[in-house]
Homo-oligomer: A and B are copies of this chain.
Amino acid sequence: MTILVAPKPEAGSKPAQILEAAGRLFLENGYGAVSMDAVSKKANVSKATLYAHFGSKDELFRAMVACECASSTLEGIWDRAMAMPAADGLRLIGITFVTFVLSPKALAVHRVVLGEAHRFPELARAFYEAGPALMVARVSAYLEALNGRGELAIPDIDLATQQFFGLIKANLHMKLLLCLTERPSEATIQRFVDAAVDLFVRGYAPSAI
């Protein structure tokens, strides 16, 4: 499996200019609707230069996705969450995750990778490994810890992790992927996360078994 590395060339260099232009255009318009001409113009670079750095449109697309995936595992929150009571930790994780995943950039990456998943299956896989899979692993570990501390009683950690993500994304994610609604306010996100955590904690409370 191809590992998705984010090369991130030094800022200001031609490759960086090109990748940034490609990012804006591809993420805004999708793979098919963007020409190499458009990229070269947006990057203030000739097409020959473009092809000197990226051998083809496919390659540029892949590189751009890899670059945009520069994985935000949202470091920092895990230790903080671990130090809190279960519900508070879950809320922290939920808010952080939802805020990230509903950001315009994350949505755009999702959209373009989903839209081209047929044609770039390895890219879809690499994207998943570089992003969602990491989050899943972190949350699984966290839930395991809550189990260990006796705060929750989860029989199937894997399944519960997926449920947690499903709960906090609810329909918001899909609606935003479809461009059906503006980005929700902080208050709305808070409401969804609170409700999700309530349900989750109530459902997996040790006493509930």
Contacts and interface: CB of A to CB of B under 8 A. Distances in A.
A200 B199 CA distance: 7
Interface in A151-209: 156, 159, 162-163, 165-172, 174-175, 177-180, 191-192, 195-196, 198-200, 202-204, 208
Interface residues of A, number: 51
Given A32-B31, A199-B203, A127 B166 contact: no
A124 interface: yes
A163 B163 CA distance: 10
Contacts of A111: 114-115, 117-118
Interface centre among A128, A178, A192, A202 (most CB of B within 10 A): A178
B179 A171 contact: no
A136 interface: yes
Contacts of A113: 178
A136 B111 CA distance: 22
Interface in A1-58: 28-33
B180 A124 contact: yes
A178 to B, nearest CB: 4
B115 A159 contact: no
A163 B125 CA distance: 27
Given A30-B118, A111-B117, A121-B179, 9 more contacts: A30-B115, A118-B179, A125-B178, A128-B180, A136-B171, A162-B171, A166-B166, A198-B203, A199-B199
Interface of A: 28-33, 111-119, 121, 124-125, 127-128, 132, 136, 156, 159, 162-163, 165-172, 174-175, 177-180, 191-192, 195-196, 198-200, 202-204, 208
Q: Give the top 6 A-B pairs by smallest Cβ distance, nearest first.
A: A32-B32, A115-B115, A162-B170, A199-B203, A166-B166, A166-B170
